[in-house]
Amino acid sequence: MIEMRKFLPYLVIFSVFLTMMPMTTQSQAVGGWEFEFVEEDEFIFNLPNSDDAKITVEFEITNSYLVEIEIEITVEGPFNGELLGDDPLLISVGAGTTKTDDFKIGNIELFQINSPGGAEDEFRALATLKSIGGIDVSMANDWKDDTGTAKMPRIYDLRIGDTTQNLEFNPDIETSFSMEITNHGNLDDQIGNAEVSDDCSLMTVKISEDSELTKIMKPQIASTSDSATIKIDIEISAAHPSRNCDVDLRISSGGSGEGDGIVWTETSFRVTVKEGEAPSPVNDDDDDDDSGPINEPIVTEQNLPSPGFSVIIASLFLALIAYRRE
Q: Evaluate if pTM is beyond 0.95.
A: no
pLDDT > 60? residue 307: no
Q: Which fold has domain 158-273?
A: Immunoglobulin-like (2.60.40)
**pLDDT for position 12:** 46
Cis peptide leading into residue 88 (ω within 30°):
yes
What's domain 29-151's architecture? Sandwich (2.60)
- Low-confidence winner among 29-38, 111-120, 289-298 (lowest mean pLDDT): 289-298
| pLDDT number for residue 288 | 45
Which residue ranges make up each domain of the chain? 29-151, 158-273
pLDDT at 310: 54
- 286 has pLDDT over 60: no
Identical fold, 29-151 and 158-273? yes
Confidence (pLDDT) at 21: 46
Residues 6+ apart with CB under 8 A from 183: 157, 158, 159, 189, 217, 218, 219, 220, 226, 227
- Of 197, 188, 232, nearest in space to 212 by CA: 232
Greater confidence (262 vs 164) lies with 262
Per-residue pLDDT tens over the stretch 89-127: 999 999 999 999 999 999 999 999 999 999 999 999 999
Share the mean pLDDT of the chain. 84
pLDDT, greater one: 306 or 56: 56
Residue 59: predicted pLDDT: 98
- The answer for residues whose C-beta is within 8 angstroms of residue 303's C-beta and 6 or more apart is none
